[in-house]
Amino acid sequence: MGIEHKITGILHLVAVLIIVLFSLTDEIPKSFAFLSVLFFVVKGIGFAIMKQNPLSALDAIAGIYLLFAVLGWFSNGVLNWIVIIFLAQKGVVYLFR
């Protein structure tokens, strides 16, 4: 696969790192975390449409869930970590594909 998978993997991992740091510390502004979850929503919808891959829609669903968590509307610690690990493993797969 091409360089686009490497770039996507790096973006995935950076976005996940920002979300993790936001949830564990007060060092990351909420706007950075918001942009990170927005990346997953837009990427998930875009890839689901362009590649006609319904599994890419899981990124969008995960991003919407994390958006609720970042905004403080709904948050479940265990579910947050499951979603974060899911997105991180997708980033690693993209990076080493």
Q: What is the DSSP string of 18-39?
A: HHHHHHH-SSS-HHHHHHHHHH
Number of alpha carbons in the 13 Å side-chain half-sphere of residue 26 = 0
Q: How many domains does the chain have?
A: 1
* pLDDT, position 60: 92
Which distant-in-sequence residues (6+ apart) come within 8 Å of 53 by Cβ? 47
List the chain pLDDT tens, one digit each, 97 residues: 578 888 989 999 999 999 999 988 878 899 999 999 999 999 999 988 988 877 888 999 999 999 998 888 887 788 889 999 999 999 999 888 7
Q: Rounded to whole angstroms, how far apart are CA atoms 65 and 61?
A: 6
* pLDDT, position 1: 59
For residue 39, the enclosing domain spans 3-96
- What pTM, to 2 d.p., does this model score? 0.88
